[in-house]
Structure 1
Amino acid sequence: MPIKIPKTLPAYNALTKENVFVITDDRAEHQDIRPLKVGILNLMPTTVDTEIQLLRLLGNSPLQVDISFLRMGSHESRNAPPGHLDRFYVSSDEIIRNDYRYDGLIITGAPVETLPFEEVDYWKELAAVLDYSAKNVWSTLHICWGAQAGLYHRYGVPKLELPRKLFGIFPHGVNERHTTIFRGFDDEFLAPQSRHTESDRKAIAARPELTIESETDEVGVFIVTAREGRELYVTGHLEYDPLTLDREYRRDLDKGLLINVPKNYYPGDDPSKEPVVRWRAHAHLFFRNWLNYVYQETPFDLGEL
Structure 2
Amino acid sequence: MSTTLTSGANDLVAFDRRGDGPAIVFVAGAGPFRAIDPWTTETAERAAAAGLTTIVYDRLGRGESVAAGVIDLDRELAAIAALIDEVGGSAVLCGHSSGCTIALAAAVRGLPVDGLMLWEAPIGGQAGGAAAWAAEVLRRIDGGDLEGALTHYMKDMPPEWLDGARRSPMWEAMVAGVVSYVADAQSLAWIESEPLPDLLAGIRVPVAFLTGTHTFPMMLDAARAVVAAIPGATHASIDGKDHAWNPAAMADEAVRFVTGRTRRDGPPLLA
For normalisation by structure 2, the TM-score amounts to 0.42
Q: Give the structure with the higher percent strand.
A: 1
Q: Give the structure with the higher percent helix.
A: 2
**Could you say which structure has the larger radius of gyration?**
1
Flag the structure with more relative contact order, 1 or 2, with Cα contacts below 8 A and sequence separation at least 6: 2
